[in-house]
């Protein structure tokens, strides 16, 4: 992990590199804003960096698709990414993300009717779904 901004700056961004593969010409890079004294935190961004003989190319990538960088995202963003494929029970979400069920309960309540919705299942167990997947980062 490396600090991109100087420590005296009012904004600190942490960069993190995805685990290296056998392809030394490619790299996945995540930029995570961890501190800001001048406004809200900027969302995390990811880049695939490809080193070619003539040029270096940067393309945006979804950090939720890179397992070792996804774990650095806020839980609600990881939940939203997981739930794009459909609703799940809180226990299933907790198991999939490797966090306590209580964290999923609190995160769901915090973002209920903004990002997530609770849906009763036929078995009487509530499931969490996305309120509207088009509006979720």
Residues 49 and 89 in one domain: no
3: left (phi over 0), alpha (psi -120 to 50) or beta: beta
* Res. 2: pLDDT tops 60: no
Quick one: average pLDDT of 115-124?
Answer: 91
Lookup: tokens for 47: 């880049």
Predicted confidence at residue 88, as pLDDT, reads 95
Q: CB–CB of 88/82 below 8 Å?
A: yes
Q: What residue numbers bound the domain in which 122 lies?
A: 74-135
Residues 55 and 78 in one domain: no
Burial class (CB in 10 A: 0-12, 13-18, 19+), 72: middle
Residues 62 and 85 in one domain: no
Lookup: tokens for 95: 């198991």
Residues 103 and 48 in one domain: no
Q: CB–CB of 11/2 below 8 Å?
A: no
Lookup: tokens for 62: 């979804």
* Res. 31: pLDDT tops 70: yes
- The pLDDT tens digits for 58-96 are 999 999 998 888 889 999 999 999 999 999 999 999 999
User: Which of 49, 69, 89 is the last residue before a domain boundary?
Assistant: 69
Residues 32 and 57 in one domain: yes
H-assigned helices in 6-136: 67-70, 75-82, 90-97, 101-111
φ, ψ (nearest 5 deg) of residue 48: -95, 125
Count of domains for the chain = 2
CA dihedral 96, 102, 103, 105 (to 10 degrees): 90
Residues 53 and 80 in one domain: no
We report the CATH number of the domain holding residue 107 as 1.10.10.10
Which pLDDT band, with edges at 50, 70 and 90, does 11 fall under? low
Residues 11 and 58 in one domain: yes
Residues 98 and 64 in one domain: no
Residues 39 and 64 in one domain: yes
Residues 65 and 97 in one domain: no
Residues 46 and 6 in one domain: yes
User: Which of 69, 89, 108 is the last residue before a domain boundary?
Assistant: 69
* Res. 39: pLDDT tops 90: no
Q: CB–CB of 4/14 below 8 Å?
A: yes
Cα–Cα distance, 90 to 71 (Å, whole number): 18
Q: Token pair 């993300």 is at which residue?
A: 97
Predicted confidence at residue 130, as pLDDT, reads 93
């Amino acid at each position: 992990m490396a600090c991109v901004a100087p420590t005296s700056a009012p904004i600190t961004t942490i960069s993190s590199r995805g685990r290296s593969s056998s392809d030394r010409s490619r790299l996945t890079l995540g930029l995570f804003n961890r501190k800001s004294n001048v406004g809200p935190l900027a969302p995390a961004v990811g880049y695939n960096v490809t080193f070619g003989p003539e040029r270096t190319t940067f393309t945006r990538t979804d950090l939720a698709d890179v397992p070792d960088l996804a774990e650095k995202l806020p839980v609600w963003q990881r939940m939203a990414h997981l739930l794009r494929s459909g609703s799940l029970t809180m226990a299933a979400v907790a198991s999939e993300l490797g966090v306590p069920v209580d964290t999923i309960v609190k995160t769901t309540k915090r973002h209920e009717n903004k990002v997530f919705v609770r849906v009763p299942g036929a078995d009487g167990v509530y499931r969490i779904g996305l309120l509207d997947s088009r509006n979720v980062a």
